[in-house]
Homo-oligomer: A and B are copies of this chain.
Amino acid sequence: MVAVSAAKKAYDTIRGDIIEGRYAPGDRITEAEVAATASVSRTPVREALHRLEAEGLIRFVPNQGAFVSSWGEDEAEETFELRARLECYAAELCAVRCDDNDLAILRQLAEQQLRVAEKRPRGFLEKIADLNHRFHEALLNASRSEQLRTALATLANAPLVFQTFREYSPQALERSARHHLELVTALEQRNAGWASGVMRAHIYAARSVFREAHETDGVERDQKSA
């Protein structure tokens, strides 16, 4: 287990460099450079680049290579809209397809998240981000749809947008957790419409927080803290 594949190493390197801002939008990514940075050959680098293209983080121009996609306000809006539509469908499928085990996992995650949101222990933001991610992951699993999984994978930028918990007020954090709990209740009752509605509210609420956080200081955010 000590030896991760070279392809994953390349993928993590490039993705990290893009997310941390070491590559600016529009920049060209040369394969040799990444290969040197990640200490692998060009072959797994190419694999990683193509995967990142499928996830929308970069785009390919034939015989010219990879360029990191540009990102603006509109793209963030689109991400929220797309997630809303796809995750609502995930919730609907879940209401029909999930089993008791799925529900137990989801309820446990949601309750844990609410406790952390209420008590706010040290490092609670990271805990909540993790629990939130695992909840949506578990929901996607319980929806039993590979197509939905691959479609949502193309919104890989979403982590950027979704883990905006740093911007959340205490009330917003609790509301988010309560959304999850209500969603589980709806699923337990096999009520697809209810589940879908809660999910829709959940994501639009997140968008609202995101908007507020980015309309005042929206112009700059180049803290490259350690």
Contact = CB atoms under 8 A, between A and B. Distances in A.
A145 B46 contact: no
A149 B5 CA distance: 30
A43 to B, nearest CB: 7
Interface stretch (A29-37, A74-82, A210-218): A74-82
A195 to B, nearest CB: 15
Please report whether the interface of chain A is mostly helix, strand, loop or mixed according to DSSP.
Answer: helix
Interface string A10-49: 0000000000000000000000000000000001001100
B146 A155 contact: no
Contacts of A85: 85-86, 88-89
Contact of A146 (B46, B69, B81): B69
Interface stretch (A50-58, A117-125, A130-138): A50-58
Copies in the complex: 2
A188 to B, nearest CB: 22
A171 B137 CA distance: 43
Interface of A: 5, 43, 46-47, 50-51, 54-56, 59, 62, 69, 75, 78-79, 81-82, 85-86, 88-89, 93, 145-148, 150-151, 153-155, 157
A147 B78 contact: yes
A59 B54 CA distance: 15
A139 to B, nearest CB: 16
A31 to B, nearest CB: 13
Contacts of A50: 47, 50-51
A158 to B, nearest CB: 10
A5 B60 CA distance: 14
Given A46-B47, A50-B50, A54-B51, A148 B89 contact: no
Contact of A155 (B59, B93, B151): B151
Nearest to A152: B151
Contact of A151 (B47, B51, B82): B82
